[in-house]
Amino acid sequence: MNNGNPHRGGSPVGYLNEFSDLEASTVIYFRLWCDGPDSQSKVYRDFFNVLGTEIAKESLKSLEKIYQLISDHGRRPLMRHDSECKCVGADESCFANLVVSAIKGENDDAMLIATLLVAPTFAPDLVTYSVEFGSALQKICNYTENTQSLYNFPEPENSTIH
């Protein structure tokens, strides 16, 4: 028995290629955003190329606010895998489910999931920003579905690289 494992949210629950495009994109873009300015420039480029200046700016403000809420008011540090990792951790999956529930208008589910990530007083804001960010991601996924793949991960193998 491992009591108090500080990395429990990083436990793999699946692979990116097993998730919907929207869920996988949520995980990928959040990882890139967390990696800092160099990786954030990749996020900016994708959003601006597909969405245009105004929508991209608003969407990325929402992503920044999500990042700040989770960083400043998280129930515990959100665990994430490396940007290149094919696995999806439990915390990342939870965040992806929040975004999907939020844009589908499943408000009760979105609020419940948000309270797993941040203190309850910040959950409504997290849901609001998730709707804004998720709506933009949905547009990007629809665009890439008709043009190109956002990512090209092969089927999972017996071992993973983190």
Helix (H, G, I), strand (E, B) or coil at 86: coil
- How would residue 161 be classed by pLDDT, with cut points 50, 70 and 90? very low
Dump pLDDT digits (tens) for 22-57. Answer: 999 999 999 999 999 999 999 999 999 999 999 999
Give me the phi and psi of 78, to 5 degrees please: -75, 125
Q: What is the mean pLDDT of the chain?
A: 89
In which element (H, E) is residue 55 found? Answer: helix 53-73
74 Cβ neighbours under 8 A, 6+ residues apart:
117, 118
Dump pLDDT digits (tens) for 110-141. Answer: 999 999 999 999 999 999 999 999 999 999 99
* Dist. CA 43–CA 76, nearest whole Å: 25
Residue 39 is predicted with a pLDDT of: 95
- pTM for this model (two decimals): 0.85
Helix axes 90-103, 123-147, angle to 10 degrees: 90
Q: Which two tokens stand for residue 110?
A: 């979105």
The answer on pLDDT for 157 being more than 70 is: no
* Dist. CA 162–CA 157, nearest whole Å: 13
Dump pLDDT digits (tens) for 55-113. Answer: 999 999 999 999 999 999 999 999 999 999 999 999 999 999 999 999 999 999 999 99
* Dist. CA 66–CA 151, nearest whole Å: 23
Residue 151 is predicted with a pLDDT of: 47
What's the full length of the chain, in residues?
162
Residue 139 is predicted with a pLDDT of: 94
